[in-house]
Amino acid sequence: MKSKIISLLLLFFIKFLFINNCFSQIGNVDTSHILLESPVYDIRNPQFDKTGTSLNYSIKDCLLAYEKWSSGMNSLIAVRFMKYNSLSPEILLTDESSLNIKPSVAYFIEQSTQPENNPGAIVYQTNRNGNWDIYFSSYNMVSWSVPIAISADTADEIEPCISPYKINNALNFMVTYKKGNDIYLKNFFNGVWMNEFNITMNDTSDCFSPVISKSPIGSNGEFFVAYNRRINSNSNQITYQRLIVNSDGSLNFLFTNNIAQPKHKII
């Protein structure tokens, strides 16, 4: 009986101790803020990238891109640098004469000696020429280049994704996108656009929604490209390929793997 009373008193003491030492989280730790707003434009599809090499906690900023819609037929691509408590002035890369959508951002950070304002690039999808094209603009730590089409093809190129890398002491960019039913790669190497490469030419499926990321292991020019494959009207499959950029800018594909079986539809 005595031991039971002691046990009950001990439990009561522990409960009392926890209740009197638990506090709600202070407001400035877990708070949401409005990052961007406009009485004129709809702000959509924000995309940002902090680093293209490795996770580096000494870096103070990231590159932010987003869409600004003035109507259902006109949208802009805007860019800013963002810190945890501030935004740089907005820079517009496009005008309002067309639809400019789906920005993808690459921000290159090699080491902590440059904690902010590093080089980078953006690709986006636009119908300014009457069909969907992919345009590219780069940042040289001073200003943005005039956007240019990475391909003059009359076919639609959509769903771009970009990643930076460095070879031969030069900053390069690898872009992937969808054209027709296939996934393509285009390499901006040593300041020159290489020929596009169809990485699904032997696949009869409709391939879509590509993403590219530099490999966390291996050489600086090693990448993974993942995309969806439409198996049938009810099922999709995720596939990825691993590749290496050679010293001359050519591509060497290592393998292709499926990471989801078509048992359920993957949206």
> Can you list the domains of the chain with their CATH numbers?
40-258 (2.120.10.10)
Better-predicted residue by pLDDT, 66 or 113:
66
Please give the sequence-ordered ranges of beta strands (E in DSSP) within the chain, or none if there are none.
42-49, 62-71, 74-83, 86-87, 91-92, 100-107, 120-126, 133-139, 148-149, 157-167, 170-179, 182-189, 192-193, 197-198, 206-214, 222-232, 235-245, 251-258
Q: Provide mean pLDDT across the span 16-42.
A: 64
Q: Provide mean pLDDT across the span 122-150.
A: 96
- pLDDT over threshold 80, residue 101: yes
Q: How far is CA 122 from the centre of its chain?
A: 10
Q: Provide mean pLDDT across the span 77-86.
A: 90
- pLDDT over threshold 70, residue 164: yes
**Least trusted range by pLDDT, from 13-22, 26-35, 146-155, 161-170:** 13-22
**H or E stretch at 3:** helix 2-19
Judge if pTM exceeds 0.75: yes
**Least trusted range by pLDDT, from 127-141, 171-185, 217-231:** 217-231
Query: How buried is residue 191: exposed, middle or buried, by Cβ count under 10 Å (0-12/13-18/19+)?
Result: exposed
For 232, the token pair is 């049938």
Q: Report the alpha-carbon distance of residue 98 to residue 71 in Å, rounded.
A: 10
Considering 2-16, 19-33, 174-188, the range whose residues carry the highest mean pLDDT is 174-188
Give residue 127's pLDDT. 95
- pLDDT over threshold 50, residue 61: yes
Q: Please give the share of the chain, as a percent, with pLDDT higher than 90.
A: 58
Q: Provide mean pLDDT across the span 59-67.
A: 88
**Least trusted range by pLDDT, from 17-31, 97-111, 160-174:** 17-31
Better-predicted residue by pLDDT, 49 or 23:
49
Better-predicted residue by pLDDT, 122 or 83:
122
Residues forming beta bridges with residue 71, ordered by sequence position: 74
- pLDDT over threshold 60, residue 20: no
- Residue 161's pLDDT band, with cuts at 50, 70 and 90, is very high
Q: Report the alpha-carbon distance of residue 181 to residue 201 in Å, rounded.
A: 9
Give residue 192's pLDDT. 94
Give residue 112's pLDDT. 59
pLDDT tens digits for 183-201?
999 999 999 999 999 999 9
The pLDDT mean for the chain works out to: 84
- Residue 17's pLDDT band, with cuts at 50, 70 and 90, is very low
